[in-house]
Amino acid sequence: MNSVISIANLSKTYESGFQALNNVSLEIENGEIIALLGPNGAGKTTLISIVCGIVNASAGMVTVNGHDIVRDYRQARASIGLVPQELHTETFETVWNTLAFSRGLFGKAPDSEHLEKVLRSLSLWDKKDNKIMTLSGGMKRRVMIGKALAHEPDILFLDEPTAGVDVELRKDMWQVVRELRESGVTIILTTHYIEEAEEMADRIGIINKGEIILVEEKQALMQKLGEKRLILHLGQPLEAIPEALEPFKLSLKDGGFNLVYTYDVQQDSSDITSLLDAIDKAGIQFRDLETMQNSLESIFVNLVKK
Ligand SMILES: Nc1ncnc2c1ncn2[C@@H]1O[C@H](COP(=O)(O)OP(=O)(O)O)[C@@H](O)[C@H]1O
Ligand SMILES: [Mg+2]
């Protein structure tokens, strides 16, 4: 995979003295959907704003399609579309003019075919002559995406695309984003909804207090998610795990009072039967047992708590 955006050692301290980003490095791959997941105030908008040239970095370097965002600002910015967190549209303008004007700002020649394609892909074609103030909230959001795509960028940033949007509209938005990716656009979205990252992303980057604390393929995260633990609460503490139980790769916790078995949810349940059998044969007695499942939520909460 080749990177379309390369972020190296990026830091940002605002004039107030507040450090919003601390040494962030991230490679964004061509054609992927990457979700930057983090709580409010984590630095997501700051990161996006730097890549899009709205905020200056204090340290570090970013290239977009090989163009340095400071030295080659125009080339770098030309390949980026940004849908900001706060929607501000010229409410008296028509949908068509909003897109056409935005395209012009990037110095691109008018191209009604492209604008038609964008509007159709966002199911806005029949609204092209409507004033934005007459549209519903969901449509306004789609107009903002259309505006961001008017100059034919191959990278799209969506900053909290569904914050404050009801569940049904959120699903529509996800579908729109998937279709955009299929058309070859690389998508970086930020969200504080775990479900959104889970649903949409090829990769998930978890950001907290200005640092990226984990970047992983969603599939790999899902495997962690599929991991379950069986915890046996013992009547008497064990000093060591008996040899006969070694194949189960158990661990001993809480001063020997808890015996923990980690297994895959998809795994054959006969393994648990044979474990319990072996424990019985080893003469170990337990008072109680419980199972626990990792979820993206628990992974996230643990990471963010640290
Ligand atoms: N212009 C600014 N001046 C000072 N602090 C700011 C400014 N913009 C954002 N911050 C602070 O930086 C932190 C990160 O903000 P932001 O990037 O908007 O986070 P997120 O998008 O993850 O919610 C927050 O604590 C925010 O208050
Ligand atoms: Mg934000």
Domain CATH for 270: 3.30.70
Which of 205, 223, 241 is the endpoint of a domain?
Answer: 223
- The DSSP annotation for 70-136 comes to TTTHHHHHHTEEEE-SS----TTSBHHHHHHHHHHHTTPPP-HHHHHHHHHHTT-GGGTTSBGGGS-
| Residues 178 and 69 placed together within one structural domain of the fold | yes
| Residues 37 and 163 placed together within one structural domain of the fold | yes
| Residues 184 and 61 placed together within one structural domain of the fold | yes
Q: What confidence tens digit (pLDDT) does each residue in 243-295 have? A: 999 999 999 999 999 999 988 877 766 788 999 999 999 999 999 999 887 77
Find where tokens 């775990």 sit: 194
- Say how many domains are in the chain: 2
| Residues 171 and 300 placed together within one structural domain of the fold | no
Q: Which of 45, 55, 85 to mutate to test the pocket of ligand 1 (most atoms within 8 A of CB)?
A: 45
226 in Cβ contact with 266 (< 8 Å):
yes
| Residues 165 and 186 placed together within one structural domain of the fold | yes
| Residues 203 and 161 placed together within one structural domain of the fold | yes
| Residues 212 and 181 placed together within one structural domain of the fold | yes
Taking 80 as the threshold, does the pLDDT of residue 178 lie above it? yes
217 in Cβ contact with 34 (< 8 Å):
no
| Residues 217 and 276 placed together within one structural domain of the fold | no
CA of 163, nearest ligand number: 2
Q: What confidence tens digit (pLDDT) does each residue in 288-297 have? A: 999 887 777 7
Structural domain span for residue 190: 3-223
* Two tokens, residue 256: 């020997």
**pLDDT level of residue 153 (50, 70, 90 thresholds):** very high
Instruction: Locate the ligand 1 atom nearest the alpha carbon of residue 43 and give its number.
Output: 17
| Residues 250 and 213 placed together within one structural domain of the fold | no
**Cα–Cα–Cα angle for 127, 132, 133, nearest 5°?**
125
* Two tokens, residue 243: 């040899």
Instruction: Locate the ligand 1 atom nearest the alpha carbon of residue 42 and give its number.
Output: 22
CA 182 to centroid of ligand 2, rounded, Å: 26
Going 64 to 66 to 69 to 74, the CA torsion angle's sign is: negative
| Residues 163 and 274 placed together within one structural domain of the fold | no
The confidence score (pLDDT) of residue 206 equals 92
221 in Cβ contact with 201 (< 8 Å):
no
Q: Which residues line ligand 1 (CB under 6 A)?
A: 14, 16, 18, 20, 38, 40-46
CA 85 to centroid of ligand 2, rounded, Å: 6
| Residues 130 and 276 placed together within one structural domain of the fold | no
Domain CATH for 144: 3.40.50.300
Q: How far is CA 145 from CA 114, 202, 255, in A?
A: 14, 20, 56
| Residues 80 and 218 placed together within one structural domain of the fold | yes
